[in-house]
């Protein structure tokens, strides 16, 4: 019962569509080359959040250390969380950065690429987003 409650809280904080994280992109592919869409029939659900993978090897790598490969901030736009008034904003799964071994995704639409804004002062943005995210997940 406690695990189900924890999964429901986690689901509330993750950016998913039909409970699929990263719009179905394989989280491992971000770390080895470029993001690729996973396959529905090769999936794994970690603590209530489902991920798709390009092959069984990728799935196995993820399963060995899911926390390493899951997107920061539940897959929401990292820059939007760094703002003085943080918000949970959709992210483009193809607009991303790996920082200190962690995947960050960003909003990129209508001519606004927030990864560029993040890059202007990444240490400050990351510190602010970390603090804001900690407050959000406590709610």
Instruction: In the chain, count H helices and then E strands.
Output: 7, 8
Confidence of residue 129 (pLDDT cuts 50, 70, 90): very high
Confidence of residue 8 (pLDDT cuts 50, 70, 90): confident
Confidence of residue 4 (pLDDT cuts 50, 70, 90): low
Which pLDDT tens digit goes with each residue over 85-96? 999 999 999 999
The structure's pTM equals: 0.92
Which contacts qualify for 44-49: CB closer than 8 Å, 24 or more apart?
A: 45/19, 46/70, 47/6, 47/7, 47/10, 48/7, 48/8, 48/10, 48/11, 48/19, 49/10, 49/11, 49/14, 49/16, 49/19, 49/21
Q: Give the span between the Cα atoms of 34 and 59, in whole angstroms.
A: 16
Strand partners, 51: 44
Q: Could you tell me the two tokens for 44?
A: 């794994």
């Amino acid at each position: 019962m406690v695990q189900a409650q924890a999964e429901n809280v986690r689901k509330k904080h993750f950016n998913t569509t039909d409970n699929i994280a990263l719009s179905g992109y394989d989280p491992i592919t971000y770390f080895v080359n470029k993001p690729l869409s996973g396959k529905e029939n090769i999936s794994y659900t970690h603590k209530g959040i489902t991920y798709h993978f390009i092959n069984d090897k990728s799935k196995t790598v993820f399963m060995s250390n899911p926390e390493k490969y899951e997107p920061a901030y539940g897959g929401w736009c990292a820059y939007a969380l760094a703002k003085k008034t943080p918000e949970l904003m959709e992210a483009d799964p193809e607009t991303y950065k790996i920082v200190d071994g962690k995947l960050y995704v960003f909003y990129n639409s209508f001519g606004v690429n927030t990864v560029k804004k993040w890059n202007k002062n990444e240490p400050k943005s990351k510190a602010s987003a970390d603090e804001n995210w900690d407050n959000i997940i406590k709610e």
